[in-house]
Structure 1
Amino acid sequence: MPNRGSIVAIVDDDKAVGNAIEVLMRSIGLVAQAFSSGEEFLRSPELSRTGCLVVDFDMPRMSGLDLHSNLSRLGNEIPTILITAYPSDDIRVRALQAGVICYLPKPFDESDLLNCIQTALDSSKGNSGAP
Protein backbone atom coordinates (compact mmCIF):
# COMPACT_ATOMS: atom_id res chain seq x y z
CA MET A 1 0.00 0.00 0.00
CA PRO A 2 1.31 3.47 -0.85
CA ASN A 3 1.80 6.47 1.38
CA ARG A 4 3.37 4.63 4.30
CA GLY A 5 4.58 7.90 5.80
CA SER A 6 1.04 9.09 6.38
CA ILE A 7 -0.92 8.12 9.42
CA VAL A 8 -4.24 6.32 9.36
CA ALA A 9 -6.13 7.95 12.21
CA ILE A 10 -8.97 5.97 13.79
CA VAL A 11 -11.50 7.92 15.84
CA ASP A 12 -13.95 5.72 17.76
CA ASP A 13 -15.22 6.06 21.32
CA ASP A 14 -15.26 2.24 21.52
CA LYS A 15 -11.61 1.57 22.40
CA ALA A 16 -11.86 -2.09 21.33
CA VAL A 17 -12.91 -1.10 17.80
CA GLY A 18 -10.26 1.62 17.54
CA ASN A 19 -7.53 -0.70 18.78
CA ALA A 20 -8.60 -3.54 16.46
CA ILE A 21 -8.45 -1.28 13.40
CA GLU A 22 -5.11 0.15 14.58
CA VAL A 23 -3.65 -3.37 14.89
CA LEU A 24 -5.00 -4.30 11.43
CA MET A 25 -3.39 -1.21 9.87
CA ARG A 26 -0.05 -1.90 11.52
CA SER A 27 -0.20 -5.56 10.43
CA ILE A 28 -0.09 -4.42 6.78
CA GLY A 29 2.71 -1.94 7.39
CA LEU A 30 0.79 1.30 7.81
CA VAL A 31 1.31 3.79 10.61
CA ALA A 32 -1.90 4.07 12.61
CA GLN A 33 -3.12 5.74 15.75
CA ALA A 34 -6.45 5.40 17.54
CA PHE A 35 -8.22 8.32 19.23
CA SER A 36 -11.25 8.09 21.51
CA SER A 37 -12.93 11.32 20.37
CA GLY A 38 -12.96 13.92 17.64
CA GLU A 39 -11.70 16.49 20.13
CA GLU A 40 -8.71 14.30 21.02
CA PHE A 41 -7.86 13.91 17.33
CA LEU A 42 -8.18 17.66 16.66
CA ARG A 43 -5.70 18.39 19.50
CA SER A 44 -3.24 15.79 18.22
CA PRO A 45 0.04 16.71 16.52
CA GLU A 46 -0.76 13.83 14.12
CA LEU A 47 -3.55 15.84 12.48
CA SER A 48 -1.19 17.33 9.88
CA ARG A 49 0.29 13.89 9.04
CA THR A 50 -3.05 12.10 8.67
CA GLY A 51 -3.55 10.64 5.19
CA CYS A 52 -6.77 8.78 6.01
CA LEU A 53 -9.37 9.11 8.74
CA VAL A 54 -11.53 6.18 9.88
CA VAL A 55 -14.22 7.64 12.10
CA ASP A 56 -17.28 6.31 13.92
CA PHE A 57 -20.48 8.19 13.20
CA ASP A 58 -22.10 7.85 16.62
CA MET A 59 -19.89 9.41 19.32
CA PRO A 60 -20.67 11.77 22.20
CA ARG A 61 -20.20 15.53 21.70
CA MET A 62 -18.98 15.36 18.08
CA SER A 63 -20.21 12.82 15.55
CA GLY A 64 -17.86 11.42 12.94
CA LEU A 65 -19.70 13.35 10.25
CA ASP A 66 -19.36 16.58 12.28
CA LEU A 67 -15.62 15.92 12.63
CA HIS A 68 -15.29 15.43 8.86
CA SER A 69 -17.30 18.60 8.17
CA ASN A 70 -15.29 20.65 10.67
CA LEU A 71 -12.01 19.48 9.12
CA SER A 72 -13.26 20.34 5.63
CA ARG A 73 -14.39 23.79 6.75
CA LEU A 74 -10.90 24.40 8.19
CA GLY A 75 -9.29 23.38 4.89
CA ASN A 76 -8.14 19.94 6.08
CA GLU A 77 -9.47 17.71 3.32
CA ILE A 78 -8.62 14.33 4.86
CA PRO A 79 -10.11 11.35 2.99
CA THR A 80 -12.61 9.94 5.46
CA ILE A 81 -14.20 6.54 5.98
CA LEU A 82 -17.34 6.70 8.12
CA ILE A 83 -18.21 3.56 10.11
CA THR A 84 -21.40 3.05 12.08
CA ALA A 85 -23.18 0.43 14.14
CA TYR A 86 -26.51 2.14 13.35
CA PRO A 87 -26.66 2.40 9.57
CA SER A 88 -29.35 4.45 7.89
CA ASP A 89 -29.91 5.63 4.35
CA ASP A 90 -30.18 9.22 5.61
CA ILE A 91 -26.75 9.13 7.26
CA ARG A 92 -25.21 7.37 4.25
CA VAL A 93 -26.57 10.02 1.85
CA ARG A 94 -25.47 12.90 4.11
CA ALA A 95 -22.00 11.35 4.50
CA LEU A 96 -21.46 10.83 0.78
CA GLN A 97 -22.77 14.34 -0.01
CA ALA A 98 -20.26 15.71 2.56
CA GLY A 99 -17.43 14.02 0.66
CA VAL A 100 -16.87 10.92 2.78
CA ILE A 101 -14.96 8.33 0.68
CA CYS A 102 -16.62 5.20 2.16
CA TYR A 103 -19.56 4.44 4.40
CA LEU A 104 -19.26 1.09 6.22
CA PRO A 105 -21.92 -0.37 8.51
CA LYS A 106 -20.52 -2.42 11.42
CA PRO A 107 -19.69 -5.22 11.42
CA PHE A 108 -17.78 -4.76 8.20
CA ASP A 109 -15.48 -7.09 6.34
CA GLU A 110 -11.74 -6.46 6.82
CA SER A 111 -11.26 -6.49 3.05
CA ASP A 112 -13.94 -3.79 2.59
CA LEU A 113 -12.15 -1.57 5.11
CA LEU A 114 -8.77 -2.20 3.48
CA ASN A 115 -10.20 -1.35 0.03
CA CYS A 116 -11.61 1.90 1.42
CA ILE A 117 -8.27 2.76 3.06
CA GLN A 118 -6.44 2.09 -0.22
CA THR A 119 -8.86 4.41 -2.03
CA ALA A 120 -8.47 7.08 0.67
CA LEU A 121 -4.67 6.95 0.66
CA ASP A 122 -4.59 7.04 -3.14
CA SER A 123 -6.84 10.11 -3.16
CA SER A 124 -4.77 11.87 -0.50
CA LYS A 125 -1.72 11.48 -2.77
CA GLY A 126 -3.67 12.64 -5.81
CA ASN A 127 -3.62 9.22 -7.48
CA SER A 128 -7.17 9.24 -8.79
CA GLY A 129 -8.03 5.57 -8.56
CA ALA A 130 -4.72 4.19 -9.82
CA PRO A 131 -4.26 0.52 -8.84
Structure 2
Amino acid sequence: MRNKAMIAVVDNDESVRMALDSLLRSSGYTVRTYASAHEFLFSDGPGVTSCLISDIQMPEMDGIEMYEELSARGIHVPVIFMTGNPDAQRHPDANTLKPVAFFPKPFATEKLLDCIETVLDPHN
Protein backbone atom coordinates (compact mmCIF):
# COMPACT_ATOMS: atom_id res chain seq x y z
CA MET A 1 0.00 0.00 0.00
CA ARG A 2 2.85 2.37 0.75
CA ASN A 3 4.03 2.88 -2.81
CA LYS A 4 0.50 3.75 -3.93
CA ALA A 5 -0.38 5.97 -0.96
CA MET A 6 0.11 9.69 -1.42
CA ILE A 7 0.73 11.54 1.83
CA ALA A 8 0.27 15.32 1.87
CA VAL A 9 2.14 17.34 4.48
CA VAL A 10 0.89 20.86 5.18
CA ASP A 11 3.03 22.98 7.50
CA ASN A 12 4.33 26.52 7.26
CA ASP A 13 7.62 25.42 8.89
CA GLU A 14 9.98 24.37 6.11
CA SER A 15 12.17 22.26 8.42
CA VAL A 16 9.15 20.22 9.53
CA ARG A 17 8.04 19.72 5.91
CA MET A 18 11.53 18.61 4.87
CA ALA A 19 11.91 16.23 7.82
CA LEU A 20 8.52 14.61 7.22
CA ASP A 21 9.16 14.42 3.47
CA SER A 22 12.42 12.57 4.11
CA LEU A 23 10.89 10.26 6.74
CA LEU A 24 7.87 9.34 4.65
CA ARG A 25 9.79 8.84 1.40
CA SER A 26 12.32 6.62 3.17
CA SER A 27 9.33 4.62 4.45
CA GLY A 28 8.07 4.06 0.91
CA TYR A 29 5.37 6.70 0.57
CA THR A 30 4.80 9.21 -2.20
CA VAL A 31 4.84 12.63 -0.58
CA ARG A 32 3.79 16.15 -1.52
CA THR A 33 4.49 19.06 0.77
CA TYR A 34 2.66 22.36 1.00
CA ALA A 35 3.66 25.53 2.86
CA SER A 36 0.08 26.59 3.59
CA ALA A 37 -3.50 25.41 3.70
CA HIS A 38 -4.31 27.62 0.71
CA GLU A 39 -1.48 26.11 -1.32
CA PHE A 40 -2.85 22.63 -0.61
CA LEU A 41 -6.50 23.52 -1.23
CA PHE A 42 -5.80 25.21 -4.56
CA SER A 43 -3.69 22.37 -5.92
CA ASP A 44 -4.68 18.91 -7.11
CA GLY A 45 -3.63 17.60 -3.67
CA PRO A 46 -7.10 17.21 -2.16
CA GLY A 47 -8.16 14.90 -4.97
CA VAL A 48 -5.15 12.58 -4.82
CA THR A 49 -4.27 12.50 -1.13
CA SER A 50 -4.53 9.21 0.78
CA CYS A 51 -3.67 10.78 4.14
CA LEU A 52 -3.15 14.39 5.18
CA ILE A 53 -0.69 15.43 7.88
CA SER A 54 -1.18 19.04 8.89
CA ASP A 55 -0.05 21.51 11.46
CA ILE A 56 -2.97 23.07 13.31
CA GLN A 57 -1.55 26.54 13.77
CA MET A 58 -0.64 28.23 10.50
CA PRO A 59 -1.02 31.82 9.31
CA GLU A 60 -4.02 32.85 7.19
CA MET A 61 -5.88 29.53 7.44
CA ASP A 62 -5.24 27.03 10.21
CA GLY A 63 -5.36 23.26 9.85
CA ILE A 64 -8.83 22.95 11.33
CA GLU A 65 -10.24 25.54 8.93
CA MET A 66 -8.58 23.65 6.08
CA TYR A 67 -10.17 20.42 7.30
CA GLU A 68 -13.58 22.14 7.44
CA GLU A 69 -13.10 23.34 3.85
CA LEU A 70 -12.25 19.82 2.70
CA SER A 71 -15.37 18.50 4.41
CA ALA A 72 -17.47 21.25 2.80
CA ARG A 73 -16.13 20.13 -0.58
CA GLY A 74 -17.12 16.54 0.18
CA ILE A 75 -13.50 15.42 0.46
CA HIS A 76 -13.09 12.97 3.30
CA VAL A 77 -9.46 12.11 3.74
CA PRO A 78 -7.89 10.88 6.98
CA VAL A 79 -6.23 13.82 8.75
CA ILE A 80 -3.45 13.65 11.30
CA PHE A 81 -2.87 16.93 13.09
CA MET A 82 0.45 18.07 14.53
CA THR A 83 0.72 20.88 17.01
CA GLY A 84 3.37 22.67 18.99
CA ASN A 85 0.63 23.98 21.28
CA PRO A 86 -1.08 21.35 23.45
CA ASP A 87 -4.07 23.68 23.91
CA ALA A 88 -4.76 23.49 20.16
CA GLN A 89 -6.29 20.04 20.72
CA ARG A 90 -8.99 21.83 22.70
CA HIS A 91 -10.00 23.98 19.73
CA PRO A 92 -13.83 24.12 19.74
CA ASP A 93 -14.08 22.37 16.37
CA ALA A 94 -11.33 19.82 16.94
CA ASN A 95 -13.56 17.17 18.47
CA THR A 96 -16.48 17.59 16.08
CA LEU A 97 -14.26 17.08 13.03
CA LYS A 98 -12.89 13.76 14.23
CA PRO A 99 -9.32 13.83 12.92
CA VAL A 100 -7.49 10.52 13.11
CA ALA A 101 -4.96 11.72 15.69
CA PHE A 102 -3.20 14.64 17.31
CA PHE A 103 0.58 14.53 17.62
CA PRO A 104 2.24 17.12 19.86
CA LYS A 105 5.52 18.42 18.46
CA PRO A 106 8.02 16.91 18.84
CA PHE A 107 6.66 13.39 18.39
CA ALA A 108 8.03 9.89 17.99
CA THR A 109 8.32 9.17 14.29
CA GLU A 110 7.52 5.48 14.77
CA LYS A 111 4.18 6.38 16.35
CA LEU A 112 3.36 8.61 13.38
CA LEU A 113 4.29 5.86 10.91
CA ASP A 114 2.20 3.34 12.86
CA CYS A 115 -0.75 5.74 12.78
CA ILE A 116 -0.41 6.21 9.01
CA GLU A 117 -0.24 2.45 8.47
CA THR A 118 -3.41 1.99 10.54
CA VAL A 119 -5.24 4.71 8.61
CA LEU A 120 -4.26 3.28 5.24
CA ASP A 121 -5.00 -0.34 6.13
CA PRO A 122 -8.13 -1.27 4.15
CA HIS A 123 -9.10 -3.80 6.86
CA ASN A 124 -9.63 -1.09 9.49
Q: TM-score, normalised by structure 1?
A: 0.86
C-alpha distance 26-111 of structure 1, shift in aligned 2 (>3 A): same
Structure-2 residue corresponding to 1:109: 108
1:96 shift after superposition = 3.7
**Which sits farther off after the overlay, 101-110 or 2-11?**
2-11
* DSSP-derived class of the 1:4 partner: helix
Shift of residue 49 of structure 1? 1.0
Other-structure match for 1:33: 32
Alpha-carbon contact 1:6-1:49 (below 8 Å) kept: no
C-alpha separation in 1, matches of 2:43 and 2:22: 19
For residues 1-131 of structure 1, the aligned pairs below 5 Å read 2-88=1-87, 89-91=89-91, 94-122=93-121, 127-129=122-124
State the Cα distance separating 1:3 from its structure 2 match: 4.8
Counterpart-to-counterpart distance in 2, 1:73 and 1:21: 27
Deviation at 1:26, TM superposition (A): 0.3
> Percent identity at matched positions?
34
Shift of 1:95: 2.3
Q: Residues of 2 paired with 1:107 and 1:3: CA distance?
A: 24
Distance 1:105 1:42, change over 3 A: same
Residue type at the aligned position of 2:70: L
TM value normalised by structure 2: 0.91
Tell me the amino acid that sits aligned with residue 63 of structure 1: D
CA RMSD of aligned residues (A): 1.5
Larger CA deviation: 24-33 vs 38-47: 38-47
Q: Please state how far the C-alpha of 1:85 moved relative to its aligned partner.
A: 0.3
Q: Deviations over 1:11-65 (max 9, x none)?
A: 0000100111011010011000110001001121232110000000000011111
Aligned partners of 1:56 and 1:64 also within 8 Å? yes
What is the one-letter code of the residue matched to 1:90?
Answer: R
Q: Deviations over 1:88-122 (max 9, x none)?
A: 2513x742431200111000000111112112222
